Amino acid sequence: MAATSFSGLQLAMLRSCIPSSQRFADAGTVILGGKAKVGSWNKLASVSHVSSVQPFQRSFTSSSLKSDKIATKAMSESSANTPVSGLPINLKGKRAFIAGVADDHGYGWAIAKSLAAAGAEILVGTWVPALNIFESSLRRGKFDESRVLPDGSLMEITKVYPLDAVFDNLEDAPEDIKTNKRYAGSAKWTVQEVAESVKEDFGTIDILVHSLANGPEVTKPLLETSRKGYLAAISASSYSYVSLLKHFLPILNPGGASISLTYIASERIIPGYGGGMSSAKAALESDTRVLAFEAGRKRKIRVNTISAGPLRSRAAKAIGFIDMMIDYSLVNAPLQKELSAEEVGNAAAFLASPLASAITGTVLYVDNGLNAMGVGIDSPIFKDLDIPKDQH
């Protein structure tokens, strides 16, 4: 995308055919992502108003045209009066725009599913070069298995917009991008234009999710990172969020929520996570606090970011050490289990809901507690300590 998905699709799939400056990553980091599993959906189902939906409409329409809505409701009218035990996450009547969904493997997809399961209407922004593949996969039912919600219905996407979040407006885009054949047939894909299109199509939204990032030199140590690569990482991974919120703020309903995705490399050393990406994540977290103040005072919008642990994704595998990071987390985190994408999605649904009405400017860690550890207990130095291990 100059804005789509490390935990999405294109970084690994398109690496050979797209200039490095145009490769993007969903979930905000090359080691964030992961194919959604169905295991923890039951947890969300127990706290969500969810019912049947209309079958997926096969007449999926390209987002570059003003299309008929592909109806998506995770909750029917009949369920509104159904008694639900516990404390529900109810987003019925809310509309969410998720920037950075390009396949069914990443955090953006998992967040969309959780929001849909809670009743929200889903709009997505997809990196322009990945748009045709994404829409084609939706039409052909390739994502149907991954679209299953807790009640057995399928998540629907009302509309897909082409989006390249590196460019605020068309004047910012260089000529080689405008004439790139992968952009042919798509229009209104800059941040400003997408916000205007959403306003024209739907008027307002209630939830804005930033699930994209890119570091074209992420495999390089910081000392070997060029100025161009460093600034590209900052532009794509942190300023893109500032731009999105700036342009969508006028159509965000008061009391709404905005969420981004970050990574612990913003505050701890993660060797191998280079190219200025750690700096970009630190900037994103700092911006989250400032934006929480500004958007909160202007529009009563809550702004938070989720710091997620390592998850397998196509893009993460391209970096080369994702398996090692997952193994490290399994051994050293307080909760010895592999993190699933839907756990991040469920956390996002909570932050977007009225249950989090007083939470803003926060970094929420969804990483099995790894962020709390001060040492790696798998070190031989600790071999004689009686450290409890998960017996399950």
- pLDDT tens digit sequence for 27-54: 333 333 334 444 455 444 444 433 333 3
Weakest-pLDDT range from 38-42, 82-86, 166-170: 38-42
pLDDT over threshold 60, residue 148:
yes
Q: Which helix (H) or strand (E) holds 233?
A: helix 227-234
Average pLDDT over residues 129-146: 96
Q: Higher model confidence: residue 153 or residue 21?
A: 153
pLDDT at 312: 73
Q: Where are the domains of the chain?
A: 95-366
pLDDT at 106: 87
- pLDDT tens sequence across 204-257: 999 999 999 999 999 999 999 999 999 999 999 999 999 999 999 999 999 999
pLDDT at 86: 75
pLDDT over threshold 50, residue 380:
yes
pLDDT at 326: 87
Q: Find out whether 8 and 1 touch, Cβ atoms under 8 Å.
A: no
Look at domain 95-366 and name its CATH class.
alpha beta
**Selection from 17-21, 75-79, 295-299 with the highest mean pLDDT:** 295-299
CA distance 77 to 252: 24
Instruction: Record the pTM.
Output: 0.80
Of the candidates 182, 179, 144, 176, which has an alpha carbon nearest to the alpha carbon of residue 162?
182
pLDDT over threshold 90, residue 281:
yes
List the alpha helices (DSSP H) in 118-162: 131-139
- For residue 213, list its beta bridge partners: 25
**Catalytically active residues, by annotation:** 238, 281
CA distance 115 to 94: 9
List the alpha helices (DSSP H) in the chain: 10-13, 41-45, 107-117, 131-139, 175-178, 191-202, 227-234, 240-248, 277-299, 314-319, 322-332, 341-352
